[in-house]
Amino acid sequence: MGLLSRKATCNSHGQDSPYFLGWQEYEKNPYDEAKNPKGIIQMGLAENQLSFDLLESWMAKNPDAAGFKRDGQSIFRELALFQDYHGLPAFKKALVDFMAEIRGNKVTFDPNHMVLTAGATAANETLMFCLAEEGDALLLPTPYYPGFDRDLKWRPGVEIVPIQCTSFNRFQITASALEEAYQQAQKKNLRVKGVLVTNPSNPLGTTMTRGELDLLINFITAKEIHLISDEIYSGTVFSSPAFVSIMEVLKDRNLENTEVWDRVHIVYSLSKDLGLPGFRVGAIYSNDPIVVAAATKMSSFGLVSSQTQYLLSAMLSDKKFTKEYISKNHKRLQKRQSKLVSGLEKAGISCLESNAGLFCWVDMRHLLSSNTFEAEMELWKRIVYDVKLNISPGFSCHCTEPGWFRVCFANMSEDTQKLAMQRLKSFVDSMTINSQSHQELKNARRKSRTKWVFRLSFQSFHDREQDER
């Protein structure tokens, strides 16, 4: 009998991946404009650091919220004691209103259907515990957030079966890909309990089309399974097309209060939209009261600090503030993204056209020595060690095509971003100088399509220290 549990000694947490090399290297040698200008620039961290000034100025104008006060009176005691897993009513109300505002008020949410959790990390894991048994499977479109391997598989024991998406059609989900994934699961004797999508997508930075959402609804209806829509980037949509929530589509198709309505669940968080990952604010929104009841009880294992609930209930109830924040934040994200895109273009690198997220999905296939993941790993190491940029390789996101990388743009200053692009350009230029072999390979490149999930020992690129997305 082992001393510890199987969970403690396996590596389903996914953090033994060799890809944390990038993080390690960054930590050993982090870029600093003044103190370490030759250090590694962190571009693997999907954080929104562009709008803290707006938060800071709100704090300055609202000292009560910060100081455990209401109307000048201290409510420290009440907050310190408040551990009701139903959450602070004022906070939930403010949060659902904020979510509605982000969706252009085309849908509204009922606070009684919302469950607060310690970050989206806890929300996703909790949904697994509620919707699936150990050994069941969930279908996820690739590429996907590496942390899902931990959140869905580790303690709940759920298997992930990929829905293969490719650059042929901008990585959109197709009916045949859905069906193929389902069949693959059946072949492996896995019972499929649902589909989990991230919309807007991490790592693609794109919003799902109405067509894709319709497809998903049709699919889960036919298979009688769940749909989880992780919408934590919904507030980062900075250009058209506008964000379309799964709830909106259900509503438009008059599917409210039907069977499928109960099987759609949304995950939300303030880590990306408000740039507050440290505060651990996540939420599950479900139309099924049984799921809400079970998830609420489970949230005991990871409630949101009442101190934080109170602060944010005040902040998000300030509609003037939320309107200004959403608008300014979008503008800044758009500006920064377009600077990244043009910087990459100057280096002869293109990316997937995107309208959301805190990153771009960058196409470096032409820089690979061969159309393989070994070559991608090679290129990635060079970028980390030589170019000194920590970016995320597509393999870690389970992408089926080698050569794609996720590059973040919202977690650094404009100057740092400029420098990063300069370094990249120099690197590519130097590669072009050795262009002969490069050209040959480019001509010889085959569009091979990798079929099944990779069974290599590393599964996820995941920072051993940070829950980055």
Partner 1 sequence: MERTRKKGQLLSRMATNDRHGENSPYFDGWKAYDENPFHPSQNPDGVIQMGLAENQLCFDLIKKWILENPDASICTAEGVDKLKNIAIYQDYHGLKEFREAVAKFMERVGGNRVTFDPNRIVMGGGATGANETVMFCLADPGDAFLVPAPYYPAFARDLRWRTGLEIVPVDCKSSNNFRITRAALEEAYEKAQSSNINVKGVILANPSNPLGTVLDRETMRSLVSFVNEKGIHLVCDEIYAATVFSSPRFISIAEIIQDMDCNRDLIHIVYSLSKDMGFPGFRVGIVYSFNDVVVNCARKMSSFGLVSSQTQYLLASMLSDEEFVGNFLRESSKRLARRHSVFTKGIEQVGISCLKSNAGLFFWMNMRPLLKEQTAQGELELWRAIISEVKLNVSPGSSFQCSEPGWFRVCFANMDDETVEVALERIRAFVLQGKEEDAPDQKSQRWHKKSLRLSFSSSRLYDESPMSPRMLSPHSPLVRART
Site for partner 1 in 4-23 (CB under 8 A): 4-9, 13, 15
Q: Is 230 a catalytic residue?
A: yes
Tokens standing for residue 6 = 């199987």
Residue of 149, 151, 230, 363 with catalytic role:
230
Which residues in the 136-155 window bind partner 1 by CB under 8 A? 150, 155
Do residues 95 and 304 make contact, with C-beta atoms less than 8 angstroms apart? no
Nearer to partner 1, 78 or 386 (CB): 78
Q: Pick from 162, 203, 275, 393 the residue near partner 1 by CB under 8 A.
A: 275
Which residues in the 336-395 window bind partner 1 by CB under 8 A? none
Query: Is residue 44 a contact point for partner 1 (CB under 8 A)?
Result: no
Query: Is residue 52 a contact point for partner 1 (CB under 8 A)?
Result: yes
In sequence order, the 6+-apart residues with CB closer than 8 A to the CB of 364 are 349, 379, 403, 404, 405
Q: Pick from 21, 25, 70, 101 the residue near partner 1 by CB under 8 A.
A: 70
Mark the segment that binds partner 1 (CB under 8 A) among 115-123, 208-216, 373-381, 395-403. Answer: 115-123
The Cα-based distances of 89 to 107, 110, 267, 309, 310 in angstroms read 20, 11, 19, 10, 10
Query: Is residue 425 a contact point for partner 1 (CB under 8 A)?
Result: no
- The three-point CA angle 178-184-187 to 5° equals 145
Residue of 41, 163, 232, 266 with catalytic role:
232
431 by Cβ neighbours in 10 Å (0-12 / 13-18 / 19+) ranks as middle
Q: Pick from 35, 105, 176, 259 the residue near partner 1 by CB under 8 A.
A: 259
Mark the segment that binds partner 1 (CB under 8 A) among 167-175, 197-205, 241-249, 305-313. Answer: 305-313
Nearer to partner 1, 167 or 305 (CB): 305
Mark the segment that binds partner 1 (CB under 8 A) among 241-249, 301-309, 358-366, 385-393. Answer: 301-309
Nearer to partner 1, 150 or 336 (CB): 150
Instruction: Work out how close the CB of 215 gets to partner 1 at its nearest, in angstroms, rounded to a whole number.
Output: 21
Nearer to partner 1, 39 or 111 (CB): 111
Total interface residues for partner 1 by CB under 8 A: 89
Q: Is 232 a catalytic residue?
A: yes
Give first-to-last CA distance, the chain, whole Å. 37
- Residue 223: name the closest of 178, 171, 174, 253 by CA: 178
Query: Is residue 121 a contact point for partner 1 (CB under 8 A)?
Result: yes
Query: Is residue 122 a contact point for partner 1 (CB under 8 A)?
Result: yes
Instruction: Work out how close the CB of 11 gets to partner 1 at its nearest, in angstroms, rounded to a whole number.
Output: 10
Nearer to partner 1, 275 or 343 (CB): 275
Query: Is residue 319 a contact point for partner 1 (CB under 8 A)?
Result: no
Q: Pick from 28, 105, 187, 278 the residue near partner 1 by CB under 8 A.
A: 278
Which residues in the 171-230 window bind partner 1 by CB under 8 A? 224, 226
Tokens standing for residue 462 = 């995941």
Q: Is 318 a catalytic residue?
A: no
Q: Pick from 102, 220, 294, 362 the residue near partner 1 by CB under 8 A.
A: 294
Q: Pick from 18, 80, 168, 442 the residue near partner 1 by CB under 8 A.
A: 80
- The three-point CA angle 122-93-316 to 5° equals 85
Query: Is residue 257 a contact point for partner 1 (CB under 8 A)?
Result: no
Phi and psi, residue 171, nearest 5° = 60, 25
Instruction: Work out how close the CB of 225 gets to partner 1 at its nearest, in angstroms, rounded to a whole number.
Output: 8
Instruction: Work out how close the CB of 56 gets to partner 1 at its nearest, in angstroms, rounded to a whole number.
Output: 5
Q: Is 144 a catalytic residue?
A: no
Mark the segment that binds partner 1 (CB under 8 A) among 84-92, 164-172, 196-204, 430-438. Answer: 84-92
Residue of 145, 182, 233, 268 with catalytic role:
145
Instruction: Work out how close the CB of 293 gets to partner 1 at its nearest, in angstroms, rounded to a whole number.
Output: 8
Nearer to partner 1, 7 or 442 (CB): 7
Residue numbers annotated as active site:
145, 230, 232, 272
